[in-house]
Structure 1
Amino acid sequence: MARYTGPKTKIARKFGEPIFGDDKSFEKKNYPPGQHGNNRRRGKKSEYAIQLMEKQKAKYTYGILEKQFRNLFEKANRSKGVTGEVLLQLCESRLDNVVYRMGVSPSRRGARQLVSHRHITVNGEIVNIPSYTLKPGDVVGVREKSKSLEVIENSLANSSSVYEWITWNSEKKEGSFVAVPERIQIPENIKEQLIVELYSK
């Protein structure tokens, strides 16, 4: 299964924000990576470079590779809504992202692993496809045999995030994907319009 497995802090430093979650190494070196990272006299970025950077940031944030991301954009482009907003909504509706948002895993990468290792159910059926798109009303839960897993217990104990479009029942270890989130409800710092401009060239 293709996904980015390289150094996370280096990528976070490139974008200047901890896109993979809390990162002690990033806090120590929150300047760009490389030999001249601390020397801020870098040339002005072109419009294309800024758009490309935003696209890369979105891809790394959600753990999606180029081909999948491009397909999501095509799908968003064909829909009736605002393309950039729909693109982010499609990313947010992915099963691995919702598992992460529910607090079952502390990171999207961990959530992806839980899904592919068959620990997660959708409407009572095991689904092991991280990119599975959830529909409003779908119930996402932890498989009965996996409820006592230490990684899941620890993550839920440390999770304090609450999102309006998701409900969570800690006793049953399951929650509902109530609705597709509005752009204003998505906390990610992504300028989706730049991605649309890049792909529309």
Structure 2
Amino acid sequence: MARNLDPKCRQCRREGEKLFLKAEKCFTDKCPVERRAYAPGQHGQKSGQRLSGYGTQLREKQKVRRIYGVLERQFRKSFAEANRRKGQTGENLLQLLEGRLDAVAYRMGFGGSRAESRQVVRHNGVLVNGRRVNIPSYTLRPGDVVQLTDTARVQLRTKAALEAAESRGFPEWIEMDVKTGKGVFKAYPQRSELPASIHEGLIVELYSR
């Protein structure tokens, strides 16, 4: 299975902002984005670089792909589905990405990062409506119950991730019981509930060329 093997912190520095790919490290002073707030590589510190319209659109698409850990082919399929649905394509795209099982598992605190949450899913550690699902891209529907298996819930790493997520707070579209490791995907998030740093309109423009 294809994977992005680029160093996580290097990906964040390339996009110029925190993508929260390294779990708790992103919330500490050790985060490289704070220490070296410029792009990686020998030309990273050059100032005055201006992107074309296409370059800006491409960077935004790459940023969103990296945030959700989605490869290009998967991303194109999600965009095609978002474009087919009623409503604004950009908002539909973000809702589809947030409705993925690995994304919901991350929001519920099953892992410190989306990569860790995806690993929990792949290792048969998550149940959806009482059935074992090990496909990270599985699309959830509002009302679906997602929970950790007994084996996954007692792991120290999972416990630490749940405690960290509880301390930061859960989003409005998630209802979570940390003690039992069970949550409900209540609804697809509204655009106002998602980060303002994402400019999905640029992605729509890119794929509409």
Query: Is TM-score (shorter-chain normalized) higher than 0.5?
Result: yes
2:175 match: secondary structure: strand
1:151 aligns with 2:151: no
Distance in 2 (CA, whole Å) between partners of 1:10 and 1:168 is: 32
Tell me which residue corresponds to 2:88. Answer: 82
Deviation at 1:25, TM superposition (A): 2.2
Deviation at 1:161, TM superposition (A): 2.5
Structure 1 stretches of 4+ moved >2 Å:
none
Tell me which residue corresponds to 2:13. Answer: 13
1:172 counterpart (177, 180, 185): 180
Distance in 2 (CA, whole Å) between partners of 1:71 and 1:37 is: 32
Distance in 1 (CA, whole Å) between partners of 2:83 and 2:90 is: 8
Deviation at 1:100, TM superposition (A): 0.4
Distance in 2 (CA, whole Å) between partners of 1:131 and 1:33 is: 30
1:75 match: secondary structure: helix
Letter in 1 for 2:117: A
1:33 counterpart (37, 40, 52): 40
Deviation at 1:41, TM superposition (A): 2.7
- % identity of equivalent residues: 47
How many residues in Structure 1 have an aligned counterpart in Structure 2? 200
Deviation at 1:188, TM superposition (A): 6.1
1:175 and 1:188, CA in 2 relative to 1: closer, same or farther beyond 3 A?
farther
Distance in 2 (CA, whole Å) between partners of 1:104 and 1:161 is: 14
Deviation at 1:171, TM superposition (A): 2.1
Distance in 2 (CA, whole Å) between partners of 1:40 and 1:115 is: 42
1:198 aligns with 2:198: no
Letter in 2 for 1:103: G
* 25-34 or 137-146: bigger deviation: 25-34
* Contact in 1 for aligned 2:13/2:32 (Cα 8 Å): no
* Contact in 2 for aligned 1:101/1:161 (Cα 8 Å): no
**1:25-83 Cα deviation digits (max 9, x unpaired):** 222111111112222132x2110000000000000000000000000000000101100
2:56 match: secondary structure: helix
Gaps of 5+ in 1: none
2:87 match: secondary structure: coil
Letter in 1 for 2:51: K
* 62-71 or 181-190: bigger deviation: 181-190
Tell me which residue corresponds to 2:98. Answer: 92
* 89-98 or 6-15: bigger deviation: 6-15
Distance in 1 (CA, whole Å) between partners of 2:151 and 2:112 is: 20
1:161 counterpart (169, 177, 183): 169
**1:146-199 Cα deviation digits (max 9, x unpaired):** 210111101111222221100001222100000011111113621000000000
1:132 aligns with 2:144: no
Give the TM-score of the pair, scaled to structure 1.
Answer: 0.96
- Across the aligned residues of Structure 1 and Structure 2, the Cα RMSD in angstroms comes to 1.2
